[in-house]
Amino acid sequence: MIIDLVKIILPAVLAFCTGVVLTPFLTHYLYRYKAWKKKPGKNGLDGKEAKIFNELHKDKEVGTPRMGGLVIWLSSAIVIISLWILANIFPENETIVKLDFLSRDQTWIPFAALIFGAIIGLFDDILEVTGKGKYMAGGLSFKKRISAVMLLGLGCGIWFYYQLEVTTLGMPNIIGDIEIGWLIIPLFVLVMASVYSSGVIDGIDGLAGGVFATIFASYSIIAFYLDQINLAAFCAMITGAVLAFLWFNIPPARFYMSETGTMALTVVTAIVAFMTDSLGGGYGVIVLPIIALPLVITSISVIIQISFKKFTGKKIFRVAPIHHHFEALGWPPYKVVMRFWVISVVFAMIGIILGVIGI
């Protein structure tokens, strides 16, 4: 029990410390090469200029680098690979070997997904800040990014169905697990695409970092309860890395998470939910909308805004996603962020309870 707790807590601490040490070097180059948008503002959901958003953020988008998500996945990669190397260098040391949590059955898939999402997101960020390319100026289109995410979801779904023989969806005890067979594949694609679409929560200093840290801490607890110690250590490591990012993202932000961070974290969130579902004897997927409620609210607000405007020509919210709506109403950004943090923590606790006892 003690060594398992150390195995979970140590990666979180190491990832946080690594991220804090790494950040000054990273930001030096981000500022040196002016890794930010060269022109402030963005278009709205209808393709026209988002006037309210641009007015709210006219002084924030230029001068503050993107690619802050590098801190999260680089520090995570350094920690997990370093512990794996140490375990292979000192195979006779049982303690060191025990601390290695890179395993085929629990962490290979989420770690590979983390790197995949990070690299695609980084490519988008580079295009965004350089503005180079006739068809790529301003970054990859949402269609291209969501296609990459869905392709990853398809690959994971196929692996879960054919290799891991996952055919059921974990449900609370009063209902019982549901046998869905091959439908686990499209479900995987749907969940991953849905979670990724909520990545637009990265819009106010500190908001995304606090929400994602809470989500991964919650799944670390659930994985620990399910005796998925390696996966619990992986989620704890991500939590520590996100907290390192958040340390520098609290207003005034030194950088923004941007696509290399949000894509990496959202795809891994979806995978971890499935890892802690019937595969681990839990209910990771069904509690995902509860644990990640701020992400759900963000996505739904965008869907409502688009749909309502398409059919009526009017808007429900002054700006979408909803956190910008509250800004437009006059809420200070820190007030929006902290209330989202509170909501995230409260519903994460509810999700943990449901995830471990399966009412």
pLDDT digits (tens, 9 = 90+) for 33-64: 888 876 665 655 445 555 565 565 555 667 78
Query: Has residue 12 got a pLDDT over 70?
Result: yes
**What percentage of the chain carries pLDDT values higher than 90?**
66
What average pLDDT does range 157-185 have in this prediction?
89
State the alpha helices, DSSP H only, in the chain: 2-32, 51-56, 70-89, 94-99, 108-130, 142-158, 184-197, 207-225, 229-249, 258-275, 288-291, 293-312, 322-328, 333-357
Cis peptide, bond prior to residue 332, ω within 30 of zero: no
Residue range 298-356, pLDDT digits in tens = 999 888 888 888 888 788 888 888 888 888 888 898 999 999 999 999 999 999 998 87
Residue 2: partners with Cβ closer than 8 Å, 6 or more residues away: none
The region that residue 244 occupies, defined by phi over 0 for left and psi between -120 and 50 for alpha, beta otherwise, is: alpha
Q: Which domain holds residue 41?
A: 2-357
What average pLDDT does range 95-114 have in this prediction?
95
Residue 353: partners with Cβ closer than 8 Å, 6 or more residues away: 359
Average pLDDT of the chain, as a whole number:
89
Domain count, the chain: 1
- Supply φ then ψ for residue 180, to 5 degrees: -120, -5
Query: Has residue 359 got a pLDDT over 60?
Result: no
pLDDT at 45: 46
Query: Has residue 135 got a pLDDT over 60?
Result: no
Which position has the higher pLDDT, 275 or 62?
275
pLDDT at 50: 58
Distances (CA, A) of 77 to 89, 102, 115, 263, 354: 18, 11, 8, 16, 31
What is the distance of C-alpha 223 from the center of its chain? 17
pLDDT at 132: 59
